[in-house]
């Protein structure tokens, strides 16, 4: 401050320097994205809508533990667990192990997409996608059911309920065992 | 001054009046779009680009939307004045254009006519007087709304416009002295050899500053300071009445730009060099283009100011107007008067006081005047801190009286 040159600059130049900033900015590329016309990809770990994942044989990863619902600061998740049953035709089994999520709802009117639920999930059943276009014109459709949230069936997956295909021991699922590769004819 | 003024066929006058009106309305629509695009670029954005080519129809769409809104007349309003105020603000804004010269004599449907509705021996005074009437519109709008906010906004607006009109009028006096006339077309003629912004640079700077204050634009947009006030004098207005205020504001912006062009930038004359290369640049309808470009340059300055400077405080603003601009104006007028007198008496033939040196001196004074803007106010000595309050002075904890604070 004691430097007289510095002081002169502060009095005489600094107030005008802003004009240079705006002038220069005029010739720079605007940062605007033409959003509805051009959709740019999000950051890879963007917090979009949720997804309920499956095991390679199509069984659900969700065990109905409700940890996500407990973690949720906005109280947007509702889970009702139920027990799998080992029936002869496999119609009582939705996930390997003992329990599964019978009802799974996320209320996107409440959800703040903070991601605490996916941090809480012990089986990595709940993750987030990059999808962010979640608007709707009514409240009811913004409560997403399990059927809306479940990941699509990939090749080799079979829609539950069905018996455990990878192994009879549900621990093998968590150890990363996959379906046996069947040679095509 | 052409002797045609006042002696033209009635239809020529009507055609010219309608052309000026259409020009102003279209120019306003264009200006709003232009300002938004330009300020957007300055802020690293694009601005309106959806409606029409480059978004040019955006302000038209906004205007239609504004017109279709419900016209609310507030209960506490004085109905007659409330309706009259926007009209009173708009009409003078357009009327000032009657004496603005767009070009020399040109052919209009086979009739030679000056591209100017009319001219008076005191045309510039007419402009100043007519634009001042617009202030009535603002005061009355604020008063008749029956709302404190609007009233305060109207008072602030009018105080500001009146203060800066003084400096504005004074800055034009030097032009009158140089050109020897107050008629706009004669002032333009007098600038054939040199535009007045060079010899009268301080006047030009003062005019530039006061025209921003006069039009209530950033950084002097205190009366309407969005985000600080509710909205100024037009708080209670909606629909077409509000649209009229908006229109008047933008037309006023163009008006002061046009006056600046006429007074200091040679009016409709082609910019330096063009007339030397191309004979026809100052004939026919081409001057309208130069005039348009020059006013547009002033609009750019308006937008640049808005994009760059933060809003001033009201007391700073008033102090600047009354204590800086007006004294400098007065001093400068005295200088110009003395110089004119000396030069007409033929006392400026010495080597030291030739024309070029005077121009250099004028430019230096102008820059100094501009820089004086940035000289900080004298710092008042800080009041001595009061003795700290000791809550345990008497042995017992006692809360401090108001305006005292306990020892932390």
* ipTM reported for the complex, 2 dp: 0.72
Q: Report chain A residues whose CB lies below 8 A from the CB of B369.
A: none
Q: How many CB pairs under 8 A join A and B?
A: 36
> Using CA atoms, how far apart are residues A151 and A174, in angstroms rounded to an integer?
18
Q: Do B374 and A18 touch (CB under 8 A)?
A: no
3-state class (DSSP) for residue B25: helix
In sign, the C-alpha dihedral spanning B51, B52, B53, B57 is negative
Beta strands of B45-182 (E only): which ranges?
105-108, 111-114
| pLDDT score, position A90 | 82
With an 8 Å Cβ cutoff, is B304 touching chain A?
yes
DSSP A183: P
Dihedral, CA atoms, B288, B291, B293, B299, nearest 10 degrees? -130
Question: Rounded CA gap, B63 and B250, in Å?
Answer: 13
The stretches in chain B having pLDDT less than 70 are 1, 347-355, 376-377, 385-388, 404-408
- Using CA atoms in the order A25, A27, A33, A36, what is the torsion angle rounded to 10 degrees? 130
**H or E stretch at A80:** strand A77-83
pLDDT of residue B103: 84
Q: Do B374 and A22 touch (CB under 8 A)?
A: no
pLDDT of residue B361: 77
Q: In angstroms, what separates the C-alpha of B371 from chain A's closest C-alpha?
A: 7
Smallest CA–CA distance, residue B307 to chain A, in Å, is: 7
For position A121, what pLDDT does the model report? Answer: 94
- Chain A CB contacts of B43 under 8 Å are 25
Nearest chain A Cα distance for residue B379, angstroms: 14
Closest Cβ–Cβ partner in B41, B309, B374 for A26: B41
- Which two three-digit tokens encode residue B267? 């009016």
pLDDT in tens, A80-117: 999 999 888 888 899 998 999 999 999 999 999 999 99
Tokens matching residue B135: 């202030």
Within 10 angstroms of residue B322's Cβ, the number of other Cβ atoms is 14
CA–CA separation, A119 vs A77, rounded Å? 14
Residues contacting residue B108 through CB under 8 Å, at least 6 positions apart: B12, B15, B16
Contact B375 A18 (CB under 8 A): no
The whole-number mean pLDDT for each consecutive block of 10 residues of chain A, a chain of 185 residues, reads 77 84 90 89 93 92 94 95 89 91 94 94 93 92 94 90 88 85 66
Name the residue among B42, B46, B374 with its Cβ closest to that of A25. B42
Give the closest residue to B142 by CA, choosing from B59, B62, B70, B81: B81
Contact A155, A33 (CB under 8 A): no
Q: Which residue has the tokens 């030069």?
A: B343
| CA–CA separation, B86 and B236 (whole Å) | 12
- Beta-carbon neighbour count of residue B358 at 10 Å? 17
Q: Any idea of the CA torsion for A10, A12, A14, A20, to the nearest 10 degrees?
A: -160
Please give the distance of CA A69 from its chain centroid, rounded to a whole number: 14
Phi-psi region of B310 (alpha: psi -120 to 50; beta: other; left: phi over 0): beta
The predicted structure's pLDDT at residue B366: 76
Confidence at residue B268, expressed as pLDDT on a 0 to 100 scale:
87
Are the Cβ atoms of A23 and B41 closer than 8 angstroms?
A: no
Model pLDDT, residue B404: 67
């Amino acid at each position: 401050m004691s430097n007289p040159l510095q002081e002169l600059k502060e009095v005489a130049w600094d107030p005008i320097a802003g004009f240079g900033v705006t002038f220069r900015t005029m010739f720079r590329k605007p940062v605007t994205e033409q959003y509805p016309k051009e959709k740019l990809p999000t950051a890879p770990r963007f917090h979009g809508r949720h997804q309920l994942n499956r095991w390679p044989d199509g069984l659900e990863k969700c065990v109905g533990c409700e940890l996500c619902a407990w973690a949720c600061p906005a109280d947007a998740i509702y889970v009702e667990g139920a027990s799998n049953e080992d029936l002869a035709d496999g119609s009582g089994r939705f996930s390997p192990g003992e329990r599964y999520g019978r009802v799974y709802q996320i209320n996107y009117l409440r959800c703040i997409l903070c991601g605490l639920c996916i941090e809480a999930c012990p089986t990595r059943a709940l993750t987030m996608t990059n999808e962010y276009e979640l608007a709707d014109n009514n409240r009811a459709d913004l409560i997403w059911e399990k059927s809306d949230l479940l990941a699509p069936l990939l090749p080799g997956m079979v829609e539950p309920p069905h018996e455990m295909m990878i192994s009879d021991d549900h621990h093998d699922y968590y150890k990363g065992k996959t379906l046996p590769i069947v040679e095509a004819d | 001054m052409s002797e045609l003024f006042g002696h033209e066929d009635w239809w020529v006058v009507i055609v010219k009046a309608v052309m000026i009106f259409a020009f102003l309305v279209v120019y306003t629509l264009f200006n709003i779009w232009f300002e938004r695009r330009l300020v957007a670029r300055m802020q690293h954005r694009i601005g309106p680009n959806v409606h029409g080519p480059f978004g040019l129809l955006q302000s038209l769409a906004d205007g239609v939307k504004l017109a279709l809104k419900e016209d609310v007349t507030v209960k506490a309003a004085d109905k007659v004045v409330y309706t009259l105020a926007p009209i009173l603000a708009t009409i003078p804004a357009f009327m000032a254009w009657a004496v603005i010269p767009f070009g020399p004599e040109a052919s209009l449907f086979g009739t030679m006519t000056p591209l100017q509705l009319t001219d008076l021996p005191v045309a510039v005074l007419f402009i100043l007087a007519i634009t001042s009437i617009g202030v009535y519109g603002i005061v009355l709008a604020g008063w008749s709304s029956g709302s404190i906010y609007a009233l305060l906004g109207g008072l602030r607006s009018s105080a500001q416009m009146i203060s800066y009109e003084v400096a504005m009028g004074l800055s034009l006096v030097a032009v009158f002295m140089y050109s020897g006339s107050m008629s706009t077309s004669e002032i333009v003629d007098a600038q054939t050899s040199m535009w007045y912004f060079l010899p009268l640079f301080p006047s030009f700077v003062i005019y530039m500053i006061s025209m921003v204050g006069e039009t209530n634009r950033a950084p002097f947009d205190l009366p309407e300071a969005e985000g600080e006030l509710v909205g100024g004098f037009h708080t209670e207005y909606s629909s077409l009445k509000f649209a009229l205020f908006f229109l008047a504001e933008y037309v006023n912006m163009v008006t002061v730009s046009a006056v600046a062009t006429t007074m200091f930038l040679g009016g409709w004359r082609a910019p330096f060099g063009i007339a030397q290369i191309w004979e026809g640049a100052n004939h026919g309808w081409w001057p309208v283009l130069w005039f348009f470009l020059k006013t547009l340059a002033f609009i750019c300055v308006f937008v640049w100011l808005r994009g760059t400077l933060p809003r001033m405080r009201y007391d700073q603003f008033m102090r600047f107007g009354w204590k800086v601009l007006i004294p400098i104006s007065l001093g400068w007028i005295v200088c110009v008067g003395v110089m004119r007198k000396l030069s007409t008496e033929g006392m400026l033939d010495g080597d030291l006081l030739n024309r070029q040196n005077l121009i250099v001196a004028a430019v230096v004074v102008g820059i100094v005047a501009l820089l004086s803007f940035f000289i900080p106010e004298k710092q008042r000595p800080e009041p001595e801190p009061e003795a700290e309050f000791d809550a345990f002075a008497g042995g017992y904890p006692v809360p401090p009286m108001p305006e005292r604070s306990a020892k932390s």
